[in-house]
């Protein structure tokens, strides 16, 4: 969403006579002319179900520990933070071993930044660039092309399978890699916005297909902790493929969207390349302290994941029973096609929900919509509002 009402002097149709378009302001890059900043709507309504946040805030005990950790970090804010944040990286490695059953990665194999957005951006900076190509599979997270744009990396897209499964097979991946010859391939599991998890053989096929050209495979597992029982993580394949990178975030399962901590696991040589392009002291002392404290409370926080998985499955069943087409979800959201009995479009449904205090997301191909899983009262409000928004 725009953050300012001031006209962009580089935007098509900007009126130079308008006093807000000041002479002497340098024009932005030509490829950015008319482009607005990324952002989902931020609207103050009772039921926020549009950006896949956790609805559960920290407990009183966790909030107190976070406060103490920030206070301790604040005492040294006159000094730059630990540039390599080795203690945090060790904590993340220990957590991944417990969560996914893999051997604990070495500290040199783990890297973190301000959200998985910055992690992905750093990977594009280090391994993309002019003359290089990155490949994704649509529908996908809308920021991927922007990471490529910012780093002058060519972004190309192949399609996932048809609705409602939006499946992606090993042969699909091999064919797309053969056709586009990418330097970087981005796979997402579970996928945003569809919620679809990948079969490990798809990851294996992509990594193997990229090895001869030294291409890199990035598997974005921002929603990995929400996957259903028996669905494996791409982390299990790290030992087989030196060109594989797995990214995670603490925004979702750890209810730390406001803390901004994402991370990756990869071969140390990949981590070293990312260290070259990171900004100095990019991870603040406060961020490091907050993330380590949240990791220490992981039993409490991951207990909330179980609650959200149960709510997700109940929401999925409800939408199916009501006749909606719904994609199977391993994430903390549900992707569905509204029935449009009386509404003309998904935007009409979106507006009708908003009028009833429920904010969800219009994303991906028409007429699909995505609803984040909230607390029980949020999900109940969504179900009621959806019936009222587009009655039979």
Residues of the chain with pLDDT > 70: what percent? 94
pLDDT of the residue at 5: 42
In the chain, pLDDT over 90 holds for what percent of residues? 88
pLDDT tens digits for 324-364? 999 999 999 999 999 887 778 999 999 999 999 999 999 99
Q: Tens of pLDDT along 48-67?
A: 999 999 999 999 999 999 99
Q: What is the pLDDT of residue 11?
A: 52
In a domain, 6, yes or no: no
The residues with which 137 forms a beta bridge, in sequence order, are: 158
Residue 14: predicted pLDDT: 56
Identify the pLDDT of residue 15: 54
Residue at which a domain ends, from 296, 313, 345: 296
The total domain count for the chain is 2
Q: What are phi and psi of 190, to 5 degrees?
A: -65, 150
Q: Does residue 5 fall inside a structural domain?
A: no
Determine the pLDDT at residue 87.
98
Please report whether residue 38 resides in a domain. Answer: no
CATH number at residue 252: 3.40.640.10
Residues 305 and 236 in one domain: no
- Most distant CA atoms of the chain, gap in Å: 64
Is 199 in the same domain as 235? yes
Write down the pLDDT at residue 13: 54
Task: Give the pLDDT band (50/70/90) at residue 41.
Answer: confident
Give the model's pLDDT for residue 152. Answer: 98
The answer to whether residue 30 is domain-embedded is: no
Is 309 a member of any domain?
A: yes
Its domain, for residue 166, covers 75-296
The label of the residue with tokens 């997402």 reads 188
Is residue 97 over pLDDT 60? yes
* 40 found inside a domain: no
Query: Which tens digit of pLDDT belongs to each residue from 243-295?
Result: 999 999 999 999 999 999 999 999 999 999 999 999 999 999 999 999 999 99
Residues 135 and 91 in one domain: yes
Q: What's the DSSP call for residue 181?
A: -
In a domain, 370, yes or no: yes
- The set of residues, in sequence order, having a beta carbon less than 8 Å from that of 60 and lying 6+ positions away, is none
**Among 277, 171, 190, 194, residue whose Cα is nearest residue 234:** 190
pTM for the full predicted model: 0.92
CATH number reported for the structural domain that contains residue 373 in this entry? 3.90.1150.10
Which residues are CB-neighbours of 24 under 8 A, at least 6 positions away? none
* Any domain includes 311: yes
């Amino acid at each position: 969403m725009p953050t300012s009402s001031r006209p962009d002097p580089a935007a098509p149709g900007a009126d130079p006579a308008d006093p807000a378009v000041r002479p002497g302001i340098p024009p932005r890059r030509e490829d950015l002319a008319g482009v607005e900043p990324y952002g989902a709507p931020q609207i103050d309504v009772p039921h926020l179900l549009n950006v896949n946040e956790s609805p559960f805030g920290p407990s009183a005990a966790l909030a107190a520990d976070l406060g103490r950790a920030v206070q301790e970090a604040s005492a040294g804010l006159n000094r730059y933070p630990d540039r390599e944040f080795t203690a945090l990286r060790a904590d993340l490695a220990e957590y991944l071993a417990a969560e996914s059953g893999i051997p604990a990665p070495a500290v040199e194999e783990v890297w973190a930044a301000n959200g998985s957005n910055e992690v992905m951006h750093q990977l594009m900076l280090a391994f993309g660039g002019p003359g290089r190509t990155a490949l994704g599979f649509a529908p996908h997270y809308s920021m991927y092309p922007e990471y490529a744009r910012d780093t002058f990396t060519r972004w190309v897209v192949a399609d996932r399978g048809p609705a409602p499964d939006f499946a992606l097979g090993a042969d699909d991946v091999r064919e797309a890699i053969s056709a586009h010859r990418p330097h970087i391939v981005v796979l997402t599991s579970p996928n945003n916005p569809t919620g679809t998890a990948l079969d490990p053989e798809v990851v294996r096929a992509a990594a193997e297909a990229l090895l001869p050209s030294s291409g890199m495979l990035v598997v974005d597992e921002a929603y990995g902790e929400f996957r259903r029982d028996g669905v494996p993580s791409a982390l299990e394949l790290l030992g087989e493929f030196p060109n594989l990178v797995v990214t995670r975030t603490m925004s979702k399962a750890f209810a730390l969207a406001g803390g901004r901590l994402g991370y990756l696991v990869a071969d140390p040589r990949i981590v070293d390349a990312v260290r070259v392009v990171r900004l100095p002291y990019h991870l603040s002392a406060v961020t490091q302290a907050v993330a380590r404290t949240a990791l220490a409370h992981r039993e409490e926080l991951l207990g909330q994941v179980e609650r959200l998985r149960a709510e997700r499955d109940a929401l999925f069943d409800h939408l199916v029973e009501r006749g909606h087409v719904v994609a199977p979800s391993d994430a903390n959201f549900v992707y569905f096609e509204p029935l449009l009995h009386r509404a003309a479009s998904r935007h009409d449904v979106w507006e009708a929900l908003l009028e009833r205090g429920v904010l969800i997301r219009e994303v991906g191909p028409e007429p699909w919509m995505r609803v984040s899983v909230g607390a029980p009262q949020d999900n109940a409000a969504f179900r009621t509002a959806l019936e009222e928004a587009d009655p039979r």
